[in-house]
Amino acid sequence: MVCGKIRFSPEFPGITDEYGAVRVDAGTRESDLEWDPNERDAWVADAERWIAQINGILQCKIDIDADGQVAGVHVVAGMEREPRHVVRDVEGLLKARLGVDVYYKKIGVVQVVDNGPPPVAAPQVSRPVVADPVPEPAADPAPVETIAAPDPVAPDPVEPEPEAPPVMEIPAEEPATDLPLPVPAVLVAEDPAARLRCVGVGVMSSDTLVRAEVQLQSGEMEARGAEEGPNHAGSDVELVARASLAALAELLTDPVMLHLHDVRMETLGGHTVVLVAVDLVEGRRTETLFGACAADHNRQQAIVHAILDALNRRLALIGMKTAAE
């Protein structure tokens, strides 16, 4: 849609309304139309004023190309509304009031923090121009009386400016030499705690009893633990675990107690795995530790290794006996 007024020759058979729209009768020739750019773009000022009245919009500027089409709409808005809502309102106003379809990507919105009105330039007050007075014709010059020039007066003596006081230089403080020299750091390499390992394990059974013995080693120290109980299915598993804890208790120096909470054989991923839960009791504090070991080769040794897997890292913080003790 093209907005504006159309100027036509006297013989042009069309009629313009109050908004500048032209109703063209049949038989009108294109050569009878002549556009006036100034009148064609006269709607832009009204459109900018209407857009500035939308909620949240502070200023607006519309750019028109050489064909009279909208090239861009530049809007300055506040921060209280989202930009997509402002674009939608501008697009709807141009469509409703002017019948102009503007692609929404041609509408740019800039949001500013300061929502105050733009500064208004002070009106310039025109001052009347005063013409220069017309000089009157000069009269005859009056006789000039000659006066003798007075004797020259000597200038007052100039007092010298006072000299600035001398600048005192303060010597820089010397660094104190009585500070103690830094002590070099001494790194002491400590031997890592010896890990417990299983030296031997054995199970002896009779018709009524089962006896399990486990031998552990920590560095140069060795300890042996033994447990026995009634002979029934699975009794050897629990007895070997309890014998492992008994041998381990012989190697500890701190007053802690080790209690077998649970031990079982489970199938995991097609393999038999020994799972153990051991309670470590220190005073009123009890901590449950867990260990596991695959029982593919020897079930009794897997039980001992599961016990050590649960306790090895925790016992590194507990005192262990040495050969000197």
Helix axes 235-249, 299-315, angle to 10 degrees: 30
Last residue within a domain, chosen from 88, 111, 134 = 111
Q: Domain limits at 101? A: 43-111
If one counts the domains in the chain, the total is 2
* 201 and 311, same domain (yes or no): yes
Q: Residue 260 domain-assigned?
A: yes
Helix axes 43-52, 83-98, angle to 10 degrees: 140
Instruction: Give Cα separations from 31 to 4, 9, 14, 35, 139 (angstroms).
Output: 18, 10, 13, 11, 74
Q: Residue 31 domain-assigned?
A: no
**In the 8-state DSSP scheme, what is residue 237?**
H
Task: State the Cα–Cα distance between residues 305 and 200, nearest whole angstrom.
Answer: 11
More reliable by pLDDT, 144 or 77: 77
How high does pLDDT run on average in the chain?
75
CATH of the domain at 84: 3.30.300.30
Last residue within a domain, chosen from 78, 111, 144 = 111
β-pair partners for 277: 262, 290
Cα three-residue angle 88-67-40, rounded to 5 degrees: 80
* 206 and 310, same domain (yes or no): yes
pTM for the full model? Answer: 0.41
Q: If we measure between CA atoms, which residue out of 288, 287, 266, 286 comes closest to residue 275?
A: 266
Last residue within a domain, chosen from 84, 111, 138 = 111
Q: Residue 21 domain-assigned?
A: no
β-pair partners for 259: 279
Encode pLDDT of 148-199 as tens digits.
555 555 566 666 666 766 666 666 666 656 667 776 665 545 555 567 788 8
Q: Which region among 144-148, 177-181, 242-246, 297-301 has the lowest average model confidence (pLDDT)?
A: 144-148
DSSP three-state, residue 49: helix
